[in-house]
């Protein structure tokens, strides 16, 4: 019997190469775990029918001694990342039966590394939401408390890792969609620097904000997956060659706490106490902790909720019912559009399309969209200045632990405010990691809490170093 609870990628790799168990036996153990628990959690939209065959191929690679660290490692993939020949619906009726005609770059790189894809995970429709309640196929539940959300939009990916239904997973992060569910589910979530991981084959939400990232149990696992999927890609003009790990072994690291952002009202008392305790923990390890002045960062949420819907309205214009995806026939072409888009998009997708169309419309473009981009530059400048003095900027990942299913779905503004700490990293393109940092007791339940570390563009190596220190890896 394979104990899935404490497995890491490196340990699993050692077991596979030593012959303690095979990739097929490991895959079957995860399939059994999914069968046992996913009826309650609903992390997956589909389990792929050829999981065992993929694992058999991995075993052949291992037998030939052609394996790498990820050979035979079971992974779950968010339902907006294309895998050739598989359905990829972005959890929307609009693409319910869409089959990917090609591999996304990340899928291809993971296939080449010998990873085993277990299935596709649930998410908020087109990655719009922070709770995975906006899926056209029903909500995912938090493994720590089935009455609560797992976060979003990569809620299925985070819940699958937290419930041992996969060893690791991929999500996408536009405003916190990897880090916030990682925090709510008590696992590690990395949003890499913008451009470090190709977006080719990711169903677009906000093209200047989107980034694919790993959700794992340990920082070391996040680093392994990041190293496998990063790098320049001719299919993505915004991708860049990463320098790789620069030496992050020096001492005297400094952490900056943005007092302008931490003065925000509405942070849960336990989350704030946990954050302060985490800062003290870093101090005890020899890290310097000081306040940094970042006066414009508090406008990040407002900037994000102008730029993101604008890009959404542009990206989702392609779903017109004519080329692929859902088509509902009307009396004429205009009615085809109305019926298809009205029937295919859920409430949150329609809301963001309308918001985006409004801020891009004649007479409002300068007042909203251009102004937001100007403030975006000021926010980026705040971080540039901060990183001249400190190595990291630290905040809670989210202002609270996971909320109850249904609690905020009818109040979108309250849901949007949960992104207050995560959106700055997407606006500025810097890397950020969420680390499990404690719990809030709620009756007999322990609700996970997380802290977020951000570093300068391309300095994922610093995040991995600090994350391993914090979690004693």
List, by residue number, the catalytic residues.
Answer: 78, 153, 177
CA distance 310 to 328: 26
pLDDT of residue 243: 63
Q: Is 234 among the domain residues?
A: no
Can you give the residue range of the structural domain that contains 67? Answer: 9-229
Q: Is 385 among the domain residues?
A: no
CATH number at residue 179: 3.90.1300.10
What sign does the CA torsion over 345, 350, 352, 355 have?
A: positive
- pTM score of the predicted model: 0.97
80: which residues sit within 8 A by CB, 6+ positions away?
Answer: 88, 90, 91, 123, 126, 127, 172, 202, 203, 205
Domain count, the chain: 1
Q: Is 220 among the domain residues?
A: yes
CA distance 122 to 232: 28
Q: Is 363 exposed, middle or buried (0-12, 13-18, 19+ CB in 10 A)?
A: exposed
Q: Is 138 among the domain residues?
A: yes
360: which residues sit within 8 A by CB, 6+ positions away?
Answer: 310, 313, 314, 369
Q: Is 244 among the domain residues?
A: no
CA distance 54 to 50: 6
Site of tokens 């309650």: 40
Q: Is 291 among the domain residues?
A: no
Q: Is 262 among the domain residues?
A: no
394: which residues sit within 8 A by CB, 6+ positions away?
Answer: 255, 256, 257, 275, 278, 279, 282, 289, 451, 452, 453, 454
* Cβ atoms within 10 Å, residue 376: 21
pLDDT of residue 266: 87
pLDDT of residue 241: 87
pLDDT of residue 307: 98
Q: Residue-wise pLDDT tens for the chain (473 aa)?
A: 899 999 999 999 999 999 999 999 999 999 999 999 999 999 999 999 999 999 999 999 999 999 999 999 999 999 999 999 999 999 999 999 999 999 999 999 999 999 999 999 999 999 999 999 999 999 999 999 999 999 999 999 999 999 999 999 999 999 999 999 999 999 999 999 999 999 999 999 999 999 999 999 999 999 999 999 999 999 999 999 876 555 556 678 999 999 989 988 889 999 999 999 999 999 999 999 999 999 999 999 999 999 999 999 999 999 999 888 999 999 999 999 999 999 999 999 999 999 999 999 998 999 999 999 999 999 999 999 999 999 999 999 999 999 999 999 988 888 999 999 999 999 999 999 999 999 999 999 999 999 999 999 999 999 999 999 999 99
Site of tokens 């007479």: 363
pLDDT of residue 244: 54
Q: Is 441 among the domain residues?
A: no
What is the bridge-based pairing of β-strands 445-454 and 254-258?
unpaired
273: which residues sit within 8 A by CB, 6+ positions away?
Answer: none
């Amino acid at each position: 019997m394979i104990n899935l609870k404490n497995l890491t990628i490196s340990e699993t790799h050692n077991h596979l190469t030593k012959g303690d168990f095979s990739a097929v036996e490991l895959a079957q153990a995860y399939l059994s775990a999914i069968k046992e628990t996913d009826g309650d959690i609903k992390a997956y939209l589909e389990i792929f029918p050829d999981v065992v065959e993929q694992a058999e191929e991995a075993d052949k690679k291992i037998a030939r001694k052609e394996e790498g660290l990820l050979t035979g490692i079971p992974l779950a993939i968010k339902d907006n990342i294309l895998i050739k020949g598989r359905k990829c619906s972005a959890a929307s009726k609009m693409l319910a039966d869409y089959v990917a005609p090609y591999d996304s770059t990340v899928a291809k790189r993971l296939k080449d590394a010998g990873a085993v894809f277990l299935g596709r995970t649930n998410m908020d429709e087109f990655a719009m939401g922070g709770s995975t309640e906006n899926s056209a196929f029903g909500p995912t539940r938090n493994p720590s408390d089935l009455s609560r959300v797992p976060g979003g939009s990569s809620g299925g990916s985070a819940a699958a890792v937290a419930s041992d239904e996969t060893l690791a997973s991929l999500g996408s992060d536009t405003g916190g969609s990897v880090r916030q569910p990682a925090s709510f589910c008590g696992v590690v979530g990395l949003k890499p620097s913008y451009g470090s991981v190709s977006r080719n084959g990711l169903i677009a939400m906000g093209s200047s904000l989107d980034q694919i990232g790993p959700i794992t149990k340990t920082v070391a696992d996040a680093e392994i997956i990041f190293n496998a999927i990063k790098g320049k890609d001719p299919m993505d003009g915004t991708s860049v060659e990463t320098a790789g790990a620069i030496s992050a072994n020096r001492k005297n690291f400094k952490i900056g706490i943005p007092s302008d952002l931490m003065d925000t009202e509405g942070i849960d008392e336990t989350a704030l106490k946990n954050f302060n305790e985490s800062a003290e923990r870093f101090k005890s390890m020899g890290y310097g902790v000081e306040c940094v002045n970042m006066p414009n960062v508090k406008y990040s949420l407002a900037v994000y909720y102008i730029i993101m819907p604008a890009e959404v309205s542009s990206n989702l214009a392609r779903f017109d019912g004519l080329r692929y995806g859902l088509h509902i026939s009307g009396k004429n072409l205009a009615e085809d559009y109305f019926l298809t888009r009205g029937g295919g998009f859920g409430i949150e997708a329609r809301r963001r399309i309308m918001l985006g169309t409004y801020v891009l419309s004649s007479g409002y473009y300068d007042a909203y969209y251009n102004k937001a981009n100007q403030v975006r530059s000021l926010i980026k400048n705040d971080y540039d200045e901060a990183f001249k003095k400190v190595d990291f900027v630290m905040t809670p990942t989210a202002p609270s632990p996971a909320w109850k299913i249904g609690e905020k779905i009818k109040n979108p503004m309250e849901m949007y405010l949960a992104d207050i700490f995560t959106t700055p990293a997407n606006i500025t393109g810097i890397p950020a990691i969420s680390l499990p940092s404690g719990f809030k007791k709620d009756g007999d339940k322990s609700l996970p809490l997380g802290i977020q570390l951000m570093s300068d563009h391309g300095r994922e190596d610093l995040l991995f170093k600090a994350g391993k220190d914090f979690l004693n890896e």
